[in-house]
Amino acid sequence: MKAIVQIGLKPGVLDPQGRAIARSLSDLGFEEVTAARQGKVIELDLTGEDAGTAEQRVTEMCEKLLANTVIESYSVKIES
Amino acid sequence: MKTAVITFPASNCDRDARMALEKVTGRPAQMIWHRESEIPSDVDFVVIPGGFSYGDYLRCGAMAARSPIVKDLVEKANKGLPVAGFCNGFQILTETGLLPGALLMNQGLNFVCKPQKLRITNGNTRFTSGYGSTQEVVYPIAHHEGNYYADDATLNKLEKEGRVLFKYVGNPNGSARDIAGICNKAGNVFGMMPHPERAVDPLHGGTDGLNFFKSIIESI
C-alpha cells in the first residue's frame, strides 16, 4: 500500500513563499491567481493489507513527526 | 558546576557555545554527541546550539527534537534542568514542545545575518538577572526560519506570565509581537533566535552575551 500525506500551513498562518509564488505567476501574466499556498507531499510505502489500520497509523505518524500541528495541517490518503 | 553542549550532525555553533560556557564557568564544557542516549546526571546546564541539525530535513529542528538524547533532555528539563537553545536550538525546543509556538520562514524570505538590537522585557529571570539596569543588548542573528509564531491566546499568556524575556528593536523577521526569546512556565528552559554565545569576546565585536551566561550559571 501507499500513503500520500499532504502537509501545508494552516489557514491564517502567513505563507511568504506562497505569496511570492502568487506574485510571480501574476507577473507572468496569470492574472487569475489571487493567492498561493505552498506545502509538501510525502509518499510512504507501507506493508499490510488493511486501509483503515494504515490510515490510523499514518495519522499517528503525522501527529508525532510529519506535521507540526502548531502551524501545519495535514491530510492522509491511502492507495492500494 | 558542569555544563554541556549537545552536538548534532550539522550543528555549527556548538564550539561557540562551549567557548562561552568555559569563559564564564572557568571549566571545560562537556560536548555530548547526538548518538548518546543520556545527559550525564551531574550536568547542571545544557545548551542546544545553532546550526542546521540533520540538514533541516522535514522542518528545522524536527529530527533533532525526536533524537534519543533530546528525549532524555526533555525528561530532565521537565524535572528542572536548566536548558537554553539558540537559533536552531530554539527551533528544536519548540519542536519538542518544551517551548510553545513555532519558527516560520522569515517574513521577507531572506536569510538575515547582522548584529541585532534587543530589548530585555523581563530582567527578573534566571537568564537575564545579571543585566541589572541594562535594558538593551546587541546579539548577532543569522537565520532564515526565525519568524516566531504562536496563536493569540498563547502570545497573551506568554506576555502576561512574563515569559517573553527579549524583544527585537526593529523586527528583522516578522516575529509575532517582536518576540525574540521566551522561557517555559517553570523558568528553566529558554530559547531565542539571536546568538548570545557569539557576543562574549571583544573580538566578536561585543560582549553583551556574557551576562546572559553569568545569569544562568549564578542561578544554579
All domains of chain B, ordered by start, with CATH?
3-218 (3.40.50.880)
Residue indicated by cell numbers 552575551: B209
Q: Which residues contact B179 (CB under 8 A, 6 or more apart)?
A: B148, B155, B158, B164, B166, B167, B168
Averaged over B173-183, what is the pLDDT? 98
Q: Name the grid cell of B105.
A: 520562514
Rounded to 10 degrees, what is the CA torsion of B1, B34, B14, B90? -90
Q: What is the DSSP letter of B202?
A: G
pLDDT tens column, A35-61: 999 999 999 999 999 999 999 999 999
Averaged over B106-113, what is the pLDDT? 94
CA of B209 to nearest chain A CA: how many angstroms apart?
A: 30
Q: Which residues contact B51 (CB under 8 A, 6 or more apart)?
A: B8, B10, B11, B12, B13, B14, B87, B88
Average pLDDT of chain B, as a whole number: 97
CA of A4 to nearest chain B CA: how many angstroms apart?
A: 15
CB atoms within 10 A of CB B111: 12
Q: For chain A, what is the domain count?
A: 1
| CATH number (domain holding residue A8) | 3.30.1280.10
A70:B149 CB<8 A = yes
pLDDT of residue B135: 94
CA of A23 to nearest chain B CA: how many angstroms apart?
A: 14
* Domain region containing A19: 2-79
Euclidean distance between CA atoms B207 and B191, whole angstroms: 19
Q: Which residues sit opposite B31 in a β-bridge? A: B5
Q: Given a cut of 90, is residue A80 above it in pLDDT?
A: no
Give contacts of B94 with chain A, Cβ < 8 Å. Answer: 70
Residue B173 backbone class (left: φ over 0; alpha: ψ -120 to 50; beta: rest): alpha
A13:B149 CB<8 A = yes
Interface probe, candidates B149, B152, B155, B182, chain A, greatest A C-beta count within 10 A: B149
Q: Given a cut of 90, is residue B134 above it in pLDDT?
A: no
Q: Which residues contact B215 (CB under 8 A, 6 or more apart)?
A: B125, B126, B127, B128, B129, B130, B131
Euclidean distance between CA atoms A72 and A9, whole angstroms: 4
A70:B94 CB<8 A = yes
Which residue, among B105, B125, B66, has the nearest Cα to B193 in the 3D structure? Answer: B105
